[in-house]
Amino acid sequence: MDFDRSVLPRLEQIEREREELSARMADSGVASNPALYRELATRFSEIEPIVNAHRELKRVRAELADAESLAASETDEELLEMAREESLGLSARNAELVEELQRLMLPKDPNADKNVILEIRAGTGGDEASLFAAELMRMYERFAESCGWQLKLVEASESEVGGLKEGIANVSGEGVYARLKFESGVHRVQRVPATESQGRIHTSAATVAVLPEPDEVEVEIDEDKELRLDSFSASGPGGQHVNRTASAVRITHLPSGIVVQCQDEKSWHKNRTKALKVLRARLFDVALREQQEKESEARRGKIGSGDRSEKIRTYNFPQSRVTDHRINLTLHSLEKLMAGELDPLVDALEAAEASKRLEAEAASAESGSAGD
């Protein structure tokens, strides 16, 4: 792709837009309108990294032109060598900025800023799988805390050994889906269970699903015709009220057969609201997957398929090693990862997806040029 010809005019336009936004945000009329100011500020924050990278690119290219001009006219060997070294460094920085700008200019995932419904279920491995599922939930709780997000448990079904058979949580904050979307799939653990007397390593698994939480207008539900609501007495932790009142809610979406239940709150109405959130997210996820299946070209630019049956990661406790199979990345920092330090892994996944999308766009551009 010819970066200068195809992208630079757009970059100049974005830089002008940034200046216009800055001027509008300084206007007292806009400042007194919180909704409008928030909208402008959001757009400003989106394009600010692009503008900064573009300005640095212009500076680097100006310095590169000067260095090359000096190298072409200089006769002093020492100064000539310095000019050549400077040109090499500036050329490398130019290439880095071009790649960064291409990545920043990629179309944004429309669901990037959505909150998510996080679902974790114990898979193969019995009690050990449930214990691992509980550890994964704690890992995401710590990651959410480090990101300034809120993670609220919607539903939890505990195993007899204190593990998690199934856990559903609502994660809200800035850019939640953008950072968590790579977590969907099968997470496999290899370790010696506490109950293993002979020290043998066992393998078990848990599944993770990250569902973007849609706005109500994105998922229309006729609650009178499409839903069946059942009330029942909650079970498990929560005090005696769980046995006396029918505060738990089970919602069945009749057209799809999807069933959601919630008993985390003492209030039936609060449980109903939480369950509806989960139902909307699951319905939105179904629609999103159907759309992605049709957009095969777009899916080739993604890391993994998002299929919950796909084994995406292995956590090897004896060797303190975690391997993400989609990008063949191995980190020897399992303890930090389980403590919620997921940034190195998520950053690598984001970078890999951006590279794949750039490759897909370049291939598409080449095929389009060949067709012309």
Give me the half-sphere count of Cα atoms (radius 13 Å) on the Cβ side of residue 183.
26
Question: Is the pLDDT reported for residue 19 higher than 80?
Answer: yes
- Give pLDDT, residue 116: 95
Distance between CA atoms of 156 and 141, rounded to whole angstroms? 14
pLDDT category at 82 given cuts 50, 70, 90 is confident
pLDDT of amino acid 31: 87
Which of 79, 104, 129 marks a domain boundary? 104
Q: Are residues 292 and 176 in the same domain?
A: yes
The reply to whether 367 falls in a domain is: no
Q: What is the dihedral of CA 214, 218, 223, 227, to 10 degrees?
A: -60
Q: Which of these ranges, 4-18, 266-280, 304-318, has the smallest mean pLDDT? A: 304-318
Q: Is 129 contained in some domain?
A: yes
pLDDT of residue 372: 56
Evaluate whether residue 170 is within a structural domain: yes
- Whether 371 is covered by a domain: the verdict is no
Confirm whether pTM is higher than 0.85. no
Whether residue 124 is found in the same domain as residue 269: yes
Instruction: Examine the domain organization and report whether 67 and 170 are in the same domain.
Output: no
Q: What is the CA radius of gyration of the chain?
A: 26
The residue whose two tokens read 């984001």 is 350
Domain total of the chain: 2
Q: Residue 345 and residue 347: Cα distance in Å, rounded?
A: 5
Q: Is the pLDDT of residue 361 over 80?
A: no
Residue 251 pLDDT > 90: yes
Q: Is 370's pLDDT higher than 80?
A: no
Q: Look up residue 52 and give its two tokens.
A: 């900064």
Are 243 and 131 found together in one domain? yes
Backbone φ and ψ for 323, nearest 5 degrees, come out as -125, 125
Residue of 191, 118, 109 whose CA lies nearest to 151: 118
Domain stops at, among 84, 104, 124? 104
pLDDT greater than 60 at residue 240: no
Position 16, amino acid: R
Structure tokens belonging to residue 235: 């079970």
Burial class for 291, CB neighbours closer than 10 Å (0-12, 13-18, 19+) = exposed
Are 43 and 174 in a shared domain? no
Give 152-207 pLDDT, tens digit per residue.
998 899 999 999 999 999 999 999 999 999 999 999 999 998 767 677 899 999 99
Asked if residue 27 is part of any domain, the answer here is yes
* Together in a domain, 193 and 92: no
Residue 361 included in any domain? no
Residues 83 and 184 in one domain: no
pLDDT level of residue 1 (50, 70, 90 thresholds): very low
Q: Residues 230-255: what's their mean pLDDT?
A: 71
326 occurs within a structural domain: yes
What is the domain-level CATH number for residue 279?
3.30.70.1660
Tokens of 255: 């057209």
Quick check: is 111 in a domain?
A: no
Same structural domain, 151 and 282:
yes
Same domain flag for 33 and 146: no
- 341 neighbors 146 (Cβ within 8 angstroms): yes
Instruction: Judge whether 154 and 117 are in contact, CB under 8 Å.
Output: yes
Q: Does 147 share its domain with 260?
A: yes
pLDDT for res 2: 52
* Domain's final residue, options 69, 104, 139: 104
Do 195 and 91 sit in the same domain of this protein?
no
Which residues contact residue 55 at a Cβ distance below 8 angstroms, ignoring those fewer than 6 apart?
15
Same domain assignment for residues 262 and 155:
yes
Residue 235, domain extent: 116-355
